[in-house]
Copies of this chain bind each other. A is one copy, B any other.
Amino acid sequence: MNENVPHLQTSLSGPLHELEFKFLANQGKIESWFRKQFKHTPAPFYASVDLRNAGYKLAPVDTNLFPAGFNNLHLDLKPLAVQAAQSAVTQACPIADGVLIIPESHTRNTFYLESLFRLQEIVTLAGYEVQIASLSPKITKETNIELPSGETLTLKPLQRKDNRVGVDNFFPCAILLNNDLSSGRPEILENIEQVLLPPLELGWVSRYKTHHFTHYHKLAEEFAEIIDIDPWLISPLSRQCGPINYKERTGLDNLSETVQEVLDTTKKYYETHNISCKPFVIVKSDSGTYGMAIVSVNTAEDILNLNNKQRKKMSSAKEGLVAEKMIVQEGVYTHENWEDAVAEPVIYMIHNQVVGGFYRVHTGKTATDNLNSPGMHFEPLSFEISASNPDKTKACDAPPNRFYAFGVVARLALLAAAREIADANLINNLGDQI
């Protein structure tokens, strides 16, 4: 992909490429800082991070602790994922010889199943026996699914024996969740003695985006000081707001005021940095969704004038999860384009390593739209080159350097997720002591 990458299209005069330059010039400091951070707060098993690249600003907008889309990663980078998976399993469970994966229950989404196959393959190649155990009541016996790629995926029904879960005679110490638990904490996974990656508390039913971004903002400030940048350049303004009930129209005034405050603050930053764009704001459910309860607005009034369809959308999330608390987040423009379509990077990490990524390339969408909308078609454009290969002899926005920048910001989000997990473990341990 060396030359075959999206182009940054912006007519802005602001601090374009300042970020890449700062990242490149401080690579040693940055890696040293990450090492210390991940030593103190171990990285999650895996994560994917959606980024927005406006050129002058590069920020995460969503951190997924149950990533799918492994089938979109370039095959050339698979060995990196394999090597990182060894470290991730070893960190969680040094004596493990096997890993049980608990996937999403929707067995008809072949894109998801291809991703699941790839995930199984990565952990298998890392040298572990891997079985996939479904929570779905439809999986009552060993089920083989033929995939479009020609591969076969085998699902088995999850069983519990005393305080362990598994399949057949396979009850390994490491259980990898690839199910975001939108429909709640499954009873069968409560109080198991195995290591659950990530812990149940990080399922969307109990996780708030606000919690993640609070950690992220703190980290962005620490990090920005080290490389001497304005933390705003890597961090979207975020406010929690609610409860909101769109059907009954309660809380909307408060939401509208918050939107106005974020628009005003964004405007000030744009002025400071000499950016001639119009601020916009993303309002989304503070709990996890598949991108349903999400709306992009330009004015505070837009919130009060949502039409029926929009309000219905905002009040329903995946598997009936009710959206009550909202997060109001500064919109970050997408200024990367691929053949006239908007291109947004998604970065994949296993353990504390970037193991690949791809661009979501959407035709028919604009720079301010949310590109992870349900049902939206996108073309994945895989990164062929690694994010750990910056090249100081090249321009600071050359692909290896741009991907390095993506990897830095994505790892900041990963570290924020690591702190979320540390919080959850702390609460768990306190619970055990009481």
- Chain A interface (Cβ < 8 Å from any Cβ of B): 27-28, 30-32, 34-35, 39, 76-80, 82-84, 86-87, 90, 94, 97, 124-129, 353, 386, 388-390
Contacts and interface: CB of A to CB of B under 8 A. Distances in A.
A31 B353 contact: no
8 contacts: A27-B125, A28-B124, A34-B127, A35-B90, A78-B386, A79-B389, A82-B389, A125-B390
Given A27-B124, A28-B127, A83-B84, 20 more contacts: A27-B127, A28-B128, A30-B127, A31-B126, A31-B127, A32-B97, A32-B127, A32-B128, A35-B90, A35-B127, A76-B76, A78-B386, A79-B80, A79-B388, A80-B80, A80-B83, A87-B87, A125-B389, A125-B390, A126-B388
Contacts of A125: 27, 388-390
A126 B124 CA distance: 26
A405 to B, nearest CB: 15
Nearest to A389: B79
A97 B28 contact: yes
Residue of A31, A79, A94 with highest tally of chain B CB at under 10 A: A79
A83 B34 CA distance: 14
Residue of A32, A90, A94 with highest tally of chain B CB at under 10 A: A32
A73 to B, nearest CB: 13
Q: Which 9 A-B pairs have the closest CB atoms?
A: A31-B127, A79-B386, A32-B97, A82-B388, A79-B388, A28-B129, A83-B83, A79-B80, A79-B389
A83 to B, nearest CB: 6
Contacts of A127: 27-28, 30-32, 34-35
Contacts of A389: 78-79, 82, 125
A124 B127 CA distance: 29
A389 B80 CA distance: 10
A80 B84 CA distance: 10
Given A31-B126, A34-B127, A94 B353 contact: no
A182 B41 CA distance: 43
Contact of A39 (B94, B97, B353): B94
A394 B30 CA distance: 42
Contacts of A84: 83
Contact of A31 (B31, B77, B80, B128): B128
Contacts of A80: 79-80, 83
A205 B70 CA distance: 49
Contacts of A388: 79, 82-83, 125-126
Nearest to A127: B31
Contacts of A78: 386, 389
A311 B28 CA distance: 52
Nearest to A36: B95
A30 B127 CA distance: 8
A128 B30 CA distance: 10
Contacts of A28: 97, 124, 127-129
Contacts of A94: 39
Nearest to A87: B87
A84 B76 CA distance: 17
Nearest to A30: B127
A45 to B, nearest CB: 16
A364 B30 CA distance: 50
Contacts of A31: 126-128
A352 to B, nearest CB: 9
A79 B78 CA distance: 11
Nearest to A82: B388
Nearest to A384: B76
A79 B354 CA distance: 10
Nearest to A31: B127
A249 to B, nearest CB: 52
A402 B84 CA distance: 22
A271 B75 CA distance: 43
A78 B94 CA distance: 27
A354 to B, nearest CB: 9
A254 to B, nearest CB: 45
Contacts of A90: 35
